[in-house]
Amino acid sequence: MDAVQTGDFKDARSMLSDDFRFSDSIPNPINAEAWLGMSASMKTAFPDLNYHFKVIGTNGDVVKTTTQLSGTHNGPFDLTSMDLGSIPATHKTFSAALQKTRITVKDNKISLWAVEPTGGAGLVAILGQLGVKPISM
């Protein structure tokens, strides 16, 4: 998470398995490249993005964590890969609700990052706090 938060996406990619999947409130899980692209877009849009990432426990190869994203929208938020357009900077801040996550590690690589759906968190909640609605939502 430190690599993603600091924008070192090459280092972050080295920690993900070839079959990595990320699942959240999006309809279908996405692969490593899509997740890293989304993370890079968020870092551009929110240069001060903070994940407030915490490990809360482990169970075998699953690491239980929490995240609570916050940041200031000071750059363009490119969501064209999701067919949602690009949102110009609003210079507003957001603070999403705390979310629980499960990270599965196999052969010292992250293979699955699963986020529990949580009201007040996720992309729709962030956009709502910024007072914007993407083109196709």
Quote the mean pLDDT of the chain.
Answer: 91
Q: Who contacts 10 (Cβ-Cβ below 8 Å, separation ≥6)?
A: none
132 has a pLDDT exceeding 60: yes
Domain-located, residue 74: yes
Domain-located, residue 50: yes
Domain-located, residue 103: yes
> Which residue bears the tokens 């949102």?
87
Domain-located, residue 135: no
**CATH number of residue 10's parent domain:** 3.10.450.50
Domain-located, residue 136: no
- pLDDT band of 137, cuts 50, 70, 90: very low
Domain count for the chain, please give it. Answer: 1
- pLDDT band of 135, cuts 50, 70, 90: low
* DSSP assignments along the chain, one per residue: -HHHHHT-HHHHHHTEEEEEEEESSSSS-B-HHHHHHHHHHHHHH-TT-B---EEEEEETTEEEEEE--EEE--S-EE-GGGTS-EE-----EEEPPPEEEEEEEETTEEEEEEE---TT-HHHHHHHHHT---TT-
Q: Which domain does 52 fall in, by range?
A: 2-130
> Which residue bears the tokens 């279908």?
28
Tokens of 78: 């490119």
Domain-located, residue 137: no
The tens digit of pLDDT for each residue in 65-123 reads 999 999 999 999 998 877 788 999 999 999 999 999 999 999 999 999 999 989 999 88
